[in-house]
């Protein structure tokens, strides 16, 4: 509610400002080709990083900012659509660089190209479910400690290059009752605790997705929010997108 009010207030200010002489006019966006591409350099660059939940089937050939085909079909798309639709004057440049199956060390492997060189103002990271899951399914040897240390190193490296970065860390989650979630997932909790510690340590906004999905389970079962317990449905995407927008807008 207050986010919405803040947004409307911001719109009013933007509209008033644009009507005042000597200030930048509306319609400041240069013409550009491509579906929804916006080449302005005025606004914040927002980068989404993560695994399949972030990737959500994006077309990796479409890597320009604000390109609908490169945004995937998940929570990132809904966030991007909302920010671009509600704040046309903001000049956001939004990138999705999630890659299905990634663990935190795989983010590190591609960090120069897929984060640092994009010079984000806002960096959102959702990572960790595969750091645990692949110990069950793919004989991956990492532990919660590996995850936490790798995550910490990655963020130190990032903030070293981008000291003014606004950091958003989304909690990795598992939706109870989902087809992939067994009693073994009790051992996932230390990864979630590590993500929360890391967020505190780096003064990041933290999105408590586990409690958001736990709350949602009071209204419909896992099959409704995330059938396998890991990958959200459209309804789950909505919950994530709303929580993300709340985190970014404070």
Residue 223 sits in the site that holds its own copies (CB under 8 A): yes
Residue 235 touches its own copies, criterion: CB under 8 A: yes
DSSP code, position 34: S
The rounded distance, in Å, linking the Cα atoms of 152 and 125 is 12
Where in 61-120 is the site for its own copies (CB under 8 A)? 66, 68-69, 71, 73, 77-78, 80-82, 84-86, 88-89
228 is catalytic: yes
Long-range own/partner contacts, residues 150-155 (CB < 8 A, 24 or more apart): 150/104, 150/105, 150/108, 151/104, 151/127, 151/194, 151/195, 151/198, 152/198, 152/201, 153/108, 154/104, 154/107, 154/108, 154/111, 155/198, 155/202
Nearer to its own copies, 38 or 146 (CB): 38
Write down the catalytic residue from 131, 150, 231, 237: 231
**Site residues (CB under 8 A) for its own copies, limited to 193-222:** 216-221
Binding of its own copies by 246 (CB under 8 A): no
231 is catalytic: yes
Q: Name the minimum Å distance from CB 164 to its own copies.
A: 26
Site size toward its own copies, by CB under 8 A: 51
- Of residues 173 and 225, the one with the C-beta less far from its own copies: 225
Instruction: Return the ∠ at Cα 63 (arms to 208 and 167), rounded to 5°.
Output: 30
Closer to its own copies by CB, 50 or 236: give it: 236
Residue 29 in contact with its own copies, rule: CB under 8 A: yes
Q: How many CA atoms lie within 13 A of 244 on its CB side?
A: 27
Catalytic residues: 52, 228, 231
């Amino acid at each position: 509610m207050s986010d919405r009010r803040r947004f409307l207030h911001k719109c009013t200010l933007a509209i008033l400002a644009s009507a005042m002489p000597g200030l930048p006019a509306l319609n400041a966006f240069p013409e550009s080709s491509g579906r929804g591409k916006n080449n302005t350099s005025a606004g914040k660059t927002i980068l989404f990083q993560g695994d399949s939940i972030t990737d959500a089937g994006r077309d990796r050939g479409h890597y320009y900012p604000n390109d609908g085909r490169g945004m995937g079909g998940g929570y990132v798309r809904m966030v991007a659509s909302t920010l671009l639709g509600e704040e046309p004057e903001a000049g956001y440049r939004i990138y999705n660089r999630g890659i299905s199956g990634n663990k935190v060390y795989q983010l590190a492997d591609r960090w120069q190209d897929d984060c640092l060189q994009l010079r984000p103002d806002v960096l959102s990271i959702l990572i960790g479910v595969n750091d645990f899951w692949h110990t069950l399914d793919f004989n991956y040897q990492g532990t919660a400690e590996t995850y936490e240390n790798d995550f910490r190193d990655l963020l130190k490296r990032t903030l070293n290059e981008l000291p003014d970065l606004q950091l958003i860390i989304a909690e990795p989650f598992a939706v109870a009752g989902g087809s992939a979630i067994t009693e073994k997932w009790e051992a996932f909790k230390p990864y979630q605790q590590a993500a929360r510690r890391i967020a505190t340590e780096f003064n990041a906004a933290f999105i408590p997705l586990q409690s958001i999905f736990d709350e949602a389970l009071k209204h419909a079962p896992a099959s409704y929010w995330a059938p396998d317990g890991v990958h959200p449905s459209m309804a789950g995407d909505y919950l994530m997108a709303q929580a993300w927008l709340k985190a970014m807008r404070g």
